[in-house]
Chains A and B, each alone.
Chain A
Amino acid sequence: MRPIRRLLPHPWLTTVLTLVWLLLNNTLSPGHVLLGLVLGWLIPLLSLRFWPDTVHFHHPLALLRFIGRVLWDILVANLNVAQLILGKPERLRPGFFAIPLDLETELAISLLANTVSLTPGTLSVELSPDRRTLFVHGMDVPDPAATCAEIKLRYEAPLKEVFEP
């Protein structure tokens, strides 16, 4: 392991932790910037066993586009689910379906599972032990195969591009 890697094993985690510290304190004073940097450097070092893999981002722009798309979809999801709740419950067509995964890294899979849960009418409920299949419950899915294909195209493909090119 190169010395820089040993001193700073997770540069992204350090950045995020520092930003969270500054947001928590709602300040940009030099003292807090310094304290945030120290915490952001120490916490990944002390919790090294929890983060065996280093995270690599490959297309920052694709990640931003993905975040924008997910935020928009969350808005639509909320209106959609509100409409389903207010409509007749008997008209719902709920059901489970399986999504075969192309993603392999833990971070990408958990991001996909979270995204699925936050977006229209779907909720991830189980990941198979071999991490090849994600099981999803849909609130109103007339055509599970189409929903599955849409999730793969809309969320899994960009995540794969960003984390596992």
Chain B
Amino acid sequence: MLEALLSLLILAGALFTFIGSLGLARLPDFFTRLHAPTKATTLGVGSLLIASAIHFSTQGEGLSLHEVLVTLFLFITAPVSGHLLGKTGLHLRLPRLGKQADGGLPPGLPPG
């Protein structure tokens, strides 16, 4: 029963991590590609960490809470690296998709 649950969590984790990486190949421009690793992989890594926490907590050596920390650090670092990559992309004027007018672009960017 426990093993079935763990396998399910690990498979789900692997699936979402794979979809996140697939996004890097499939999405059309730099900025949409940024979304894939910052989000789809969070759930993938999350499932793997929950599986890890359950597995090591039932090994008889007491509760395993390292995984909580990994989650916390992931939630702090993933958006920051995404933010910096996006900012760099904006300032380098990387080509972007978007049919609507870009009314939301920050002023003062270097000319393209």
**Which residues of B (78-92) have their CB < 8 Å from a CB of A?**
78-80, 82-83, 86-87, 89-90
**In contact, B98 and A95 (Cβ under 8 angstroms):** yes
Quick check: is B6 within 8 A (CB to CB) of the other chain? no
A58-108 interface with B by 8 A CB criterion: 74-75, 77-79, 81-82, 84-86, 89-90, 92-98
Contact of B102 among A75, A95, A128 (CB under 8 A): A95
Docked pose: A140 CA to B23 CA in angstroms: 14
A126 touches B65 (CB 8 A): no
Please state if A96 and B104 are interface contacts (CB–CB under 8 Å). Answer: yes
Please give, as numbers and ranges, the residues of chain B lying within 8 Å of A124 by CB-CB distance: 79, 82-83, 86
Are B34 and A85 interface neighbours, CB within 8 A? no
B104: chain A residues at CB < 8 Å are 95-98, 135-136, 144
Interface of B is mostly: helix
Chain B interface residue number, banded: 35 or more
Count class of interface residues, chain A: 35 or more
What is the interface of chain A, defined by CB distance below 8 A to chain B? 20, 23-24, 26, 74-75, 77-79, 81-82, 84-86, 89-90, 92-98, 113-114, 116-118, 121, 123-126, 128, 133, 135-137, 139, 144
B residues near A, CB below 8 A?
A: 16, 19-20, 22-23, 26-29, 31-32, 34-36, 38-40, 42-44, 62-66, 68-69, 72, 75-76, 78-80, 82-83, 86-87, 89-90, 96-100, 102-106
